[in-house]
Amino acid sequence: MPLCGYALAMISLPASLDRNSAVGLFEDVVGLLAGGATRVELDAGQVRHIDAFGAAAILEAHGAASQAGAEFRLRNVSSQTREVLALLRVDRVLSTSREVPAKEPLLARIGGWGFALTHSAVQQAALNVDGLFLTFIAPFRRKGPRVVQFIRQLNLIGTQATGIVVLISFLIGLIMALQSASQLRQFGANIYVADLVGISMTRELGPLLTAIIVAARSGSSIAAELGTMVVTEEVDALRVMGLNPRRFLVAPRFAAMVLALPCLAILADLAGITGGFVVGVFGLDIGANHYWNQTITALYTSDILSGLVKSFVFANVIAVVACHCGLSLTGGPEQVGRATTRAVVSSIIIVILADFFFTSIFYLLT
Amino acid sequence: MKTGEIFVIMGPSGCGKTTLLRTMTGLIEPLAGEVRYQGRVVKGQKALDEYRRSFGMVFQQGALLNSISIMENVALPLREHTDLPDWMIERVVEMKLAQVGLLEARNRKPMELSGGMRKRAGIARALALEPALLYFDEPSGGLDPITADGIDNLILSLTESLPVTVIVVTHELASIFKIADRVMMLRDGKIAVLSTREEVKNAKDEGVQHFIHRRAPAEEGAADAFLTEVGGGSE
């Protein structure tokens, strides 16, 4: 309780300086300082019990007084209070709180980010080269991916994703046909729904949708699995056994991804076209043969091939980003979740950027 | 390192034991100095691969591949580094698993085993290629005293029956004084003591005595500076 104000302020500390009284003490001191006190004295003569909350209030009051340019005194400290303050290492807490954390200059931070980004890009490029080598060249030298692991990954990435890829592509085909039909009907051009759905699915939406689904589904799984293997030292165990983790872990996943994704994209194309077909035939009264012939006439081999090229590139991106995020993980198990999120977000962004790049190239070429 | 000995690297947490082990096994590059094995500097990927085929390492948690069975884990180095026929690999793996008392668990996955069993399986895998050198990272860490003692006995039996040198990184005092021929204590990244276990027990070094007698150095006067600053006199 404050005994007097203005220049000299004296507070007699309560018998129990704990969680219930500590905040009040600090607020009293702050009030006195705001009232113009230039010297604050705390009398600890009556204190019989003090805990970490009380000690924190004393340290904060001391800090507030120093900041206000006021003198701070703590009187009549009993040996018991002294012991508690020593146990709570108030000296160390005070000296740490006085340390001003070194702030890195902005330019240095930008440089650091740039370096980290470049380093990561170089590592991922190297991983991509290794993945391509191990998938397409090394098998002829009997050093390719392990067959059992490759088949397991092919099942996880390809077979098990078929259902969701087909379902979503079919629904997108339906939606696209319905949306475009409402516009084209005004010009009596319903039949061009077949062109629109066919070309959009094969050139653009089939590969892109498939890549996004696979990035979310399998990219996250790869990053989490490899990240966990890093945390449990399984990757280190492979290294000390003289086994290359890229051949053991990256190659089966990379090879399965570059094989599965284009196949899934073809299924997505077919499912999307089927969706458009259902709307065209049952909703717009276009004859089944008429719709089918219109789709075949509208599509060129180059449309399908450009979609497959995109799928192959997207597969590279997803596999490399996911493997890199998993294998470059540092820290404990809590980092696995972050690596997984990073893998999905990064691969989707890079996939869309790559799609934009390819679409621009194909547009300019045609 | 003397051939056939059990060499223990001990020290408090954060002293650099694990960093030293990871450097010795080529998992991290030394900032200074070099790793030598049988008189030759281990430098470059080819030398590192050759060196790694000559030692086995047992990780703290076993570090077995969770997607394959114990048997496949132990067979992995044999399948990858040798051209032995499958029947030979199977027999060798069964013998290694029998040696560590895990033959009956050969078809189980690592996640189905207890901590002690995983460590034993890790030992079997490390022994697969009959290495001349075995590294152990915290072999008794996280195990109950009886299981830990079983691992210690296994390490002792290995050096008695096989021409193998063992390097153990640990801070488990009971293990150290049971199995070590020589002990090296690290403190702040430097060698504090390097001697036989008996000599280490009697070492004059205060830090060593604190460590082996489990005495934390007392921190005194942790409130004196503050109380002096605020004029905190006694009652």
Q: Do B235 and A91 touch (CB under 8 A)?
A: no
Of A74, A79, A229, which is closest to B230 when you measure between CB atoms?
A: A74
Residue B221: per-residue pLDDT:
62
Tokens for A320?
Answer: 């490399």
Residue A144: per-residue pLDDT:
66
Of B49, B226, B235, which is closest to A90 when you measure between CB atoms?
A: B226
> What backbone torsions phi and psi does residue B41 show, to the nearest 5 degrees?
-75, 130
Please check whether residue B233 touches A, CB under 8 A. yes
Nearest to A164 by CA among A228, A204, A217, A120: A217
Residue A5: per-residue pLDDT:
47
Give dist(CA A329, CA A150) in Å, integer.
23
Mean pLDDT, chain B, integer: 87
DSSP percent split of chain B into helix, strand, coil, nearest 5: 45, 15, 40
Minimum Cα–Cα distance from B131: chain A residue: A241
A110 to chain B, closest Cα gap in Å: 27
Kindly tell me if the per-residue pLDDT of B215 is higher than 80.
Answer: no
What's the whole-model pTM score?
0.81
Residue A4: per-residue pLDDT:
46
Listing DSSP states for A113-161 in one string gives HHHHHHHHHHHHHHHHHHHHHHHHTGGGGT-S--HHHHHHHHHHHTGGG
Neighbours of A291 (CB within 10 A): 25
Of B27, B66, B81, which is closest to A242 when you measure between CB atoms?
A: B81
Residue A160: per-residue pLDDT:
95
Identify the band that residue B77 occupies on the pLDDT scale cut at 50, 70 and 90: very high
B45 to chain A, closest Cα gap in Å: 10
Residue type (1 letter), A288: A
How many cross-chain Cβ pairs, A to B, lie less than 8 Å apart?
108
Give dist(CA A318, CA A223) in Å, integer.
10
Please check whether residue B161 touches A, CB under 8 A. no
Q: Tell me: the pLDDT tens digits for B90-133?
A: 999 999 999 888 889 889 999 999 888 999 999 999 999 989 99
Nearest to A256 by CA among A315, A303, A206: A315
- Sole residue written with tokens 């507070």: A11
Kindly tell me if the per-residue pLDDT of B149 is higher than 80.
Answer: yes
Q: Do A237 and B80 touch (CB under 8 A)?
A: no
B222 to chain A, closest Cα gap in Å: 5
Q: Which residues are registered as beta bridge partners of B191? A: B186
Of A82, A87, A95, which is closest to B227 when you measure between CB atoms?
A: A82
Of A62, A229, A239, which is closest to B230 when you measure between CB atoms?
A: A62
Q: Tell me: the pLDDT tens digits for B37-63?
A: 888 888 888 888 889 888 999 998 889
* Poorest-pLDDT segment among B22-31, B60-69, B223-232: B223-232
Minimum Cα–Cα distance from A72: chain B residue: B230
B8 to chain A, closest Cα gap in Å: 20
The sheet carrying B182-187 orders its strands as: B55-58, B133-137, B165-169, B6-10, B182-187, B190-196
Give dist(CA B228, CA B179) in Å, integer.
51
Q: Do A236 and B59 touch (CB under 8 A)?
A: yes
Give dist(CA B191, CA B178) in Å, integer.
21
Residue A186: per-residue pLDDT:
83
Identify the band that residue B136 occupies on the pLDDT scale cut at 50, 70 and 90: very high
Kindly tell me if the per-residue pLDDT of B234 is higher than 60.
Answer: no
Residue type (1 letter), B78: L
Counting as low any pLDDT under 70, the low residues of chain A are 1-6, 144
Kindly tell me if the per-residue pLDDT of B3 is higher than 80.
Answer: yes
The ipTM of this complex is 0.86
Helix (H, G, I), strand (E, B) or coil at B25: coil
How far apart, in Å, are the Cα atoms of A62 and each of A11, B92, B184, B231? Answer: 13, 71, 47, 12
A142 to chain B, closest Cα gap in Å: 12
Q: Do B232 and A242 touch (CB under 8 A)?
A: no
Minimum Cα–Cα distance from A75: chain B residue: B232
B-chain residues within 8 Å CB-CB of A86?
Answer: 220-224
Contact A202, A303 (CB under 8 A): yes
Spell out the domains of chain A, with CATH numbers in brackets: 2-87 (3.30.750.24), 118-365 (no CATH)
Kindly tell me if the per-residue pLDDT of B220 is higher than 80.
Answer: no
Residue B126: per-residue pLDDT:
92
B-chain residues within 8 Å CB-CB of A245?
Answer: none
Residue A6: per-residue pLDDT:
55
Residue type (1 letter), A36: G
Give dist(CA A17, CA A25) in Å, integer.
9
Residue A122: per-residue pLDDT:
93
A94 to chain B, closest Cα gap in Å: 8
The sheet carrying A39-43 orders its strands as: A2-4, A8-12, A39-43, A71-75
By the 10 Å C-beta count (0-12 exposed, 13-18 middle, 19+ buried), B31 is classed as exposed
Q: Tell me: the pLDDT tens digits for A118-160?
A: 999 999 999 999 889 988 888 887 776 778 889 999 999 999 9
Q: Which residues of B145-172 are buried (b: 16+ CB within 10 A; e: fewer)?
A: eebbebbbebbeebbeebebbbbbbbbb
Neighbours of B198 (CB within 10 A): 10
For B5-26, what is the mean pLDDT?
A: 89
The residues, any chain, with a CB within 8 Å of residue A175's CB and separated by 6 or more, are A275
